[in-house]
Every structure is written in C-alpha cells, then in structure tokens.
C-alpha cells in the first residue's frame, strides 16, 4: 500500500484523484486548507467504501504548515510515496490591475506550495530510492492566458520546476512529471457562461471540455510502474486545445 498525498484534494480534480488512488488500494491523504467539510465528506465516502483515507489540513503557501503536515505523515505512516501537487487558485484580472498582494498570493500558493511540498517529500523518497511526483500545471502555463498573467506565470514556473527536479532526482529512482489540463469542468471554471463554454468547446478539437476524472486518470498513470521511464515531461490533458 502506497502513501499518496494529494494537495487541494477536497473537490474537483483533487477529489477525483483521491478516489482513483483509493480505489487502486493506496492510502490517500486528502489535503485541504479551508474546505474542511468537503474534505471530511470525501474521507467518509472513501472510508465507507472500504478504502483508507485521511484528511489533513495545511495551507501549502506556508512552509511551516507543509513541514508540519509531512512530519505528521512521516511520524504516523512512514512518509509519502506519491505526491500530487494539485492545490491552486485562479484569478482573472488585467495585468495593470494586478496588485502586489494578488501577485504574491498567486505565486505563494501555486508555485511556492509545489516547492515546499516537493522539498518536504524528497528525503523519504530518496532514502527509499523510489518516488513519484506529479505536479498540476495548466495549458496557460504553456501558452499564456490573457488577463491571467500571474496565474500563467505561476503555472509556467511549475513546468520549469518539474523539468529541473526530474533531472536532479532521476538517479534517486524518483520521477517528476507535470500535467497541464485544458478546460476542465471544475468549480474554478464555474464563472464561465454557457456561451463561453460553447466557444471553448468549438476551439477544442474533441469538441468537448474535460472532466476531473480525465485528469485524475492521467495522474494515476504517471504514478504507476507503467510510467517508470517517463520523467521531466508535461502531459497535456486538453482535448487538443494546445498541441506541444
């Protein structure tokens, strides 16, 4: 049984990822920052199905809280075998309207949080000479999104971090990969109108938008033995919206 930590796992992509790992027989740690009720509900759902799930609170933008979370997991369960850095926020704003607080909050949650979690997870993985790290970026981190400059910058940073860390940790038996979702039907995109969704479907070669499960299945693959020779890669789960 592997120990799998999924940040931002109380809903959306994170929750579906927790479900697919739990169904695969792994021990799942459901990280959340504010959505305690949603995390507790997911834990109950998985536990009632006979799966092993633990909800654990930590704000990934705080190195202290991240370290405390990993220390607890290490103390009680031994360490993390699979880390899925999914926690993130979004904001739509003209570049000239982005404040210092907007920028700092975006970077600290979406990029620094990945750094803090990778740094905390690696000692155990290195000792074990095995580990899987999957970081969730965005297609906007690949091509840039208008009115989402700070979001795009943070997500692009995740891609760079993934590539560099994969090169550094390859000989330690650890793979580090990235997923760049396209338009996914999540709460983060709930502000989009039906017309917006229709336009995005038309711009996507498959003619559809993605689901959280589409991303979760890709994460599960990258954490499996079937992906042991894949590292430093960015997998686009976007219906062909962005072709790299």
What residues act catalytically?
A: 151
**Residue 141 to residue 161: CA distance in whole angstroms:** 12
In terms of C-beta density within 10 A (0-12 exposed, 13-18 middle, 19 or more buried), how is residue 233 classed?
middle
Map residue 83 onto helix, strand or coil: strand
Check: CB of residue 119 under 8 Å from CB of residue 166: no
Q: Across the chain, where does the E strand assignment appear?
A: 3-6, 27-32, 53-57, 82-85, 131-136, 174-181, 234-237
Residue among 131, 112, 113, 108 at smallest CA distance from 121: 131
Taking each helix axis from N to C terminus, what angle separates 149-169 and 100-107, rounded to the nearest 10 degrees? 30
Q: What is the DSSP letter of 10?
A: S
Map residue 51 onto helix, strand or coil: coil
Calculate the alpha carbon distances from 53 to 1, 81, 99, 148 in Å: 12, 15, 38, 34
**Residue 184 to residue 172: CA distance in whole angstroms:** 34
């Amino acid at each position: 049984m592997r120990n799998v930590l999924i940040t931002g796992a109380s809903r959306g992509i994170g929750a579906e990822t927790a479900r697919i790992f739990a169904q695969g027989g792994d021990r799942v740690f459901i990280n959340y920052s504010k959505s305690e009720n949603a995390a507790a509900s997911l834990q109950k759902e998985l536990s009632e199905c006979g799966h092993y799930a633990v909800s654990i609170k930590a704000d990934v933008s705080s190195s202290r809280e991240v370290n405390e979370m990993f220390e607890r997991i290490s103390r009680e369960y031994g360490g993390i075998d699979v880390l899925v850095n999914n926690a993130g926020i979004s904001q739509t704003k003209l570049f000239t309207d982005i404040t210092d607080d907007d920028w700092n909050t975006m970077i600290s949650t979406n990029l620094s949080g990945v750094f803090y979690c990778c740094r905390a997870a690696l000692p155990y993985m290195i000792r074990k000479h095995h580990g899987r790290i999957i970081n969730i970026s965005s297609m906007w981190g690949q091509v840039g999104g208008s009115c989402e400059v700070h979001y795009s910058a943070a997500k692009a940073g995740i891609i760079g971090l993934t590539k560099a860390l994969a090169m550094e940790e390859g000989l330690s038996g650890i793979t580090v990969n990235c997923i760049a979702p396209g338009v996914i039907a999540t709460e983060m995109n709930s502000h989009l109108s039906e017309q917006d969704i229709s336009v995005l479907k038309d711009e996507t070669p498959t003619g559809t938008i993605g689901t959280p499960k589409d991303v979760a299945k890709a994460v599960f693959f990258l954490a499996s033995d079937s992906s042991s020779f894949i590292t430093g890669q960015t997998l686009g789960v976007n219906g062909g919206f962005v072709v790299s």
